[in-house]
């Protein structure tokens, strides 16, 4: 697959080579499975396959960077100071997307946004945001309790799948005592708790 | 028990008469049980019994007011606009404490604060805030799964009891798809997720 040159100056094959070289085998294979699932969803919901493929391939582009690299970036960019305590799970989306932008010349704001939201979710999510969020949650190698229900919802009602994933992700985090990023609560309150924008 | 006149111009007996007259029997008896539990905690942790008694008696003072009364108050006080979508569970503490202040002349800021935080919790909680929060959670008539563990923690480590109550309350809300007040997430992130004040 080729992507429009205005979005990124690499073909899919060239991007795969970059990812394969820079990430662990495990991560690389996860990325391929997320792309596979995301393209199935794109097909089902008539989304733009090139955007979906690009966002899927790059969603974990910077997941294996060191905490030190992220903390250095946060210290240099005070607008991200509130991300500091939340760790790699939050950083690799919210900041990792900006690394892809800078290092790969990624220049499609829809794709950047979908990468940023892929772990935290958001009160406002585009169809692309939802597809990447859900593909990452249900890719073929996920085996958690409830994944079958999530898969079923993904191909029935994408918004209900987002609600399901947000609720179950929050419970997962709380059961383990992990911190919860405020945007994820906003997303939950919007998609599940039906809190409007008043 | 008498309270200092500077705090409130009613004795405990006079307050009980007011509560009994204005609340359902069920609510009134819950209040007495919360006071009983809170005074046990006050004794155990050497807290001020008069403050604990007063906060316990008034924690649900305005719980049975109508949504219309709260919504009218919110519309008249724009600083509370963000409370609007969260309903009585949040209003009866955050705003109910101000009704007690206005209608009963309650004039002890520690007590007002403990009433305000008793359902939402907070990143910063005083010993009094914690005692009221926990007493309401474990009063003798509570029968949910995990209440024995909560009771044990309450008399071992008050902070751990707060963590436990916050985690379990969040999971309870999420399992039912109820909205979550952002202060409760702040409290969770502080007491459970160990997110500092950076």
B172 touches chain A (CB under 8 A): no
Q: What is the mean pLDDT of chain A?
A: 96
Tens-digit pLDDT profile for residues B146-193: 999 999 999 999 999 999 999 999 999 999 999 999 999 999 999 998
Question: With contacts defined as CB-CB under 8 Å, which chain B residues touch A170?
Answer: 170, 174
pLDDT at A198: 42
pLDDT by residue (tens digit) across A66-101? 999 999 999 999 999 999 999 999 999 999 999 999
The answer to whether B170 contacts A174, with C-beta atoms less than 8 Å apart, is yes
Higher pLDDT: B38 or B195? It is B38
Find where tokens 């009980």 sit: B16
d(CA B158, CA B162): 6
Confidence of residue B195 (pLDDT cuts 50, 70, 90): confident
Euclidean distance between CA atoms B4 and A189, whole angstroms: 42
pLDDT in tens, A21-34: 999 999 999 999 99
B25 near A CB under 8 A: no
pTM of the model: 0.93
Closest by alpha carbon to B37, among B7, B18, B22, B57?
B57
* Mean pLDDT for chain B overall: 96
Residue of B nearest to A165 (CA): B174
Out of A182, A196, A198, closest to residue B185 by CB:
A182
CA–CA separation, B170 and A54 (whole Å): 36
Closest alpha carbon within chain B to A184: B185
């Amino acid at each position: 697959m080729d992507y429009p040159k205005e979005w990124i100056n690499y073909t899919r094959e060239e991007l795969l080579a970059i990812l394969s070289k820079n990430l662990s085998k495990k991560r690389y294979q996860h990325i391929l499975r997320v792309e596979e699932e995301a393209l199935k969803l794109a097909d089902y919901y008539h989304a733009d396959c090139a955007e979906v493929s690009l966002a899927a391939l790059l969603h974990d582009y910077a997941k294996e960077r060191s905490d030190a690299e992220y903390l250095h970036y946060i210290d240099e960019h005070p607008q991200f100071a509130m991300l500091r305590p939340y760790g790699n799970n939050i950083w690799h989306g919210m900041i990792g997307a900006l690394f892809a932008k800078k290092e790969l010349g990624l220049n499609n704001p829809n794709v950047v946004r979908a990468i940023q939201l892929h772990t935290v979710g958001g009160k406002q999510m585009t169809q692309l945001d939802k597809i990447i969020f859900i593909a990452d949650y249900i890719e073929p190698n996920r085996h958690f309790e409830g994944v079958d229900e999530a898969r079923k919802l993904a191909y029935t009602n994408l918004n209900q799948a987002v609600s399901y994933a947000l609720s179950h992700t929050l419970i997962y985090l709380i059961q383990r005592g992990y911190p919860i990023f405020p945007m994820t609560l906003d997303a939950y309150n919007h998609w599940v708790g039906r809190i409007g924008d008043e």
